[in-house]
Structure 1
């Protein structure tokens, strides 16, 4: 049986679980800080009592890191992180983080342990894929991000007074120049695509001209295309979750929900493509399986493509044509750099790409923005040099 007792300015739940060998009562306690409503306190006590009697309650002072990760996963991550992010977190947790920290008590993990852990990941032989060298700087940042998120919840839930992840522990990453196509290379690519199936030609063209992410392209539906206004709406992203299959997700950030203008010549291609898709839908009849959706890019029976499919086709296309290779995702970067080179403002590019803020755009494309600025300076130099020489002659 459980009961509440007042301790100073807060309440504590107490659950009786038997007696010690000396006859004294054996109890479990849990403090409820910041709660004064008797109704809410009774709810918390009932939940605590259920945990204790079911054997699921772990004393915070004795909680291991591995146990807290499970608490974090169930009570925070599943609700607040996208399924894809949670799946991506799973590999570093299982193969790196938990083997090192899992057995340690949560309150015994200090900043020096985090620093040592991140330094170890830089050493040769630490990789699980057998490749030489340590983890990349971006991978180190990802590990840091996971640990920061977990310890942040531990502080919020009053299991720790402070997080061991402090300023200065985040690994530094030098942003490398992204591999993209130039304006001439993009034009040559469009020429090559004229000999490819229309759905692949259109997907690659949209990737370069709109800057949509792969998952956003695959989630596009015909009712999100406004042919009169020449725009498309980005409302979802298609992902594959192991054990669950395909999922149509609403983006976590508001900036990813956006309206993107489509070049007129691409719009004409889309009109021709829609005629073909409508015929496919009619011919498939009852075999059509798009449910309530009508995806732009789908198999013969309306099912959306798995996210890995475009990348595999792209790799085969590059190998078959001998064209310069960049990753499928770099088509999105190509869209950004082409706009930068045409003098488009970074704020407009940021909105078009669905970045959370302009700083993201500035960081990713810093090299290209710097080059564009240098070209602008050269143009000004060319503009004013004749005037300066004229002044010198008069002097």
Structure 2
């Protein structure tokens, strides 16, 4: 990694890009920057800010055919983990913020999330279908340790015997093993842990505020031992950054008890193309052009492909090589393992929060 003195350590994005919905743009002029340097002032405050929100709904229907979930729930908007490649960055623009540093620093907290979930799944019109926590941003990002909104949501799912999935890259999920075990007893839970690399230095610069690789591997093992179904997402695969790790990573997670593995190939949609390009030229200047060109080769000459069916896995020689490696890795290390189908049959009996006797 570069020793660039202007690099903002502990953050993924290195700048705030223009919000496409804003009529006006702003920039830091040289005279302002020089003044800050002379006076010792900070140009941008890097502290995380929590913003309370009270939405009207909390469960979102997912219409994308290649995401693999029907409904999602996100107790937080924005994510302090700061993963540089995160597709969710663009969603922050809808709230009036930048997809860059704002996404990591301005976290919207849905204070009424539990109340809205209970109202939704206790409705007579609702038919049980798995709801995935973190379809957009991580439900176990750092502030969850204090606020415990995700824990309360899991308690609500348990109360109503409703199936739920979790996607996270934070070891904080271990805190809730007690609830997850109770959900697992009725086949109401699946956990998907994101593990992008086995190399801690790669993790540190790609995903600066996430759990360490050691803690994530430990989490897979602890969930598995507790009887909680856990799979792994190696997402995204980034050429020349983590693309060489497929076989060793699948081997490692299989030894920890993972039931399956999935992957996506990086696509830099919307504002993320500019954010990632700026980041890699500062973080990895020696290989920036190579990585960017390889990403383009997977998406028909562009950093992004929005077509359903191809956007997640890419096309071309590199994409084919990745697909083949995963096929071999799964056959070698995960043969015979299957993720259980979540149970949607119990919920109707618990619509009022307790077992119906008649």
Which structure is larger by alpha-carbon Rg, 1 or 2? 1
TM-score after normalising by structure 2: 0.27
Q: TM-score normalised to the size of structure 1?
A: 0.25
* Structure in which a larger fraction of residues adopt helix: 1
Looking at both structures, which has the greater relative contact order when contacts are Cα pairs under 8 Å and sequence separation is at least 6?
A: 2
